[in-house]
Chain A
Amino acid sequence: DVKVTQSSRYLVKRTGEKVFLECVQDMDHENMFWYRQDPGLGLRLIYFSYDVKMKEKGDIPEGYSVSREKKERFSLILESASTNQTSMYLCASSSQLEEQYFGPGTRLTVT
């Protein structure tokens, strides 16, 4: 079974802190994705990566950056957390033509 894990299920941070969310997949997938999910807005793509050290902006990249130094690991970084970044963050991975497999999500609260 494909497994996608995320470093934390729940996280509480203060405004202005730097926040790291990590995602690891064990299926040697080329593609990895970071989404945020908010009520009424569905899943929105923040960033994705199609290879090691390769990344591309999604629909809402502002305030976020990413890092992919190894194929199995994709990190989302909030350089200076703000309250409007309080959300559920979901990581996913996929091969080129397959469905995306999701991690359990990290519920981030910024106070």
Chain B
Amino acid sequence: EDKVVQSPLSLVVHEGDTVTLNCSYEVTNFRSLLWYKQEKKAPTFLFMLTSSGIEKKSGRLSSILDKKELFSILNITATQTGDSAVYLCAVRHYGSSNTGKLIFGQGTTLQVKP
């Protein structure tokens, strides 16, 4: 059965800390891995990773994929209270209809304290 597992499920840090969020997967016909940030509204897209070892970076956030070990990490440096959110990992795979469905992990809830 295809699955995506995120860890930890929740995390509390203080402003300025660096955090690493993990996402492991077992999915047939893997195409890409996506990270989303969800505050109290719709998930917003952060990164899409398709190749191993190539870091994607946006400001204080970065992410990398390891297709051999089947995992990805999302790093946030110098955390701020505005980083408090649920971070969702999703894997795109191709089934019979070739639509690129996403399988989501449970999410990691990050709380950044002042």
A-to-B contact residues, CB < 8 Å: 4, 30-31, 33, 35, 40-45, 48, 50, 54, 56, 58, 90, 94, 96-97, 99-105
- Could you give, for residues 79-114 of chain B, a 1 whenever the CB lies within 8 Å of some chain A CB and a 0 otherwise? 000000000101000000111111111110000000
Closest to B94 in A: A96
Tell me, rounded to whole Å, the shortest Cβ–Cβ distance linking B8 to chain A. 13
Decide: B106 and A102 in contact? CB cutoff 8 A.
Answer: no
- With a CB–CB cut-off of 8 A, which chain B residues contact A40? 9, 106
Number of B residues near A (Cβ < 8 Å) is: 22
- With a CB–CB cut-off of 8 A, which chain B residues contact A48? 99, 101
Name the prevailing secondary structure of the A interface residues. Answer: strand
Decide: B43 and A50 in contact? CB cutoff 8 A.
Answer: no
B-to-A contact residues, CB < 8 Å: 9, 34, 36, 41-45, 48, 88, 90, 97-107
- With a CB–CB cut-off of 8 A, which chain A residues contact B41? 104-105
How many angstroms between the C-alpha atoms of A33 and B106 in the bound complex?
18
Instruction: Select which of A43, A50, A58 is within 8 A of B88 by beta carbon.
Output: A43
User: Given A41-B106, A44-B104, list of 12 further CB < 8 A pairs?
Assistant: A4-B42, A31-B99, A31-B100, A33-B101, A35-B104, A43-B104, A50-B98, A54-B97, A56-B97, A94-B100, A104-B42, A105-B42
Decide: A100 and B106 in contact? CB cutoff 8 A.
Answer: no
How many angstroms between the C-alpha atoms of A28 and B73 in the bound complex?
32
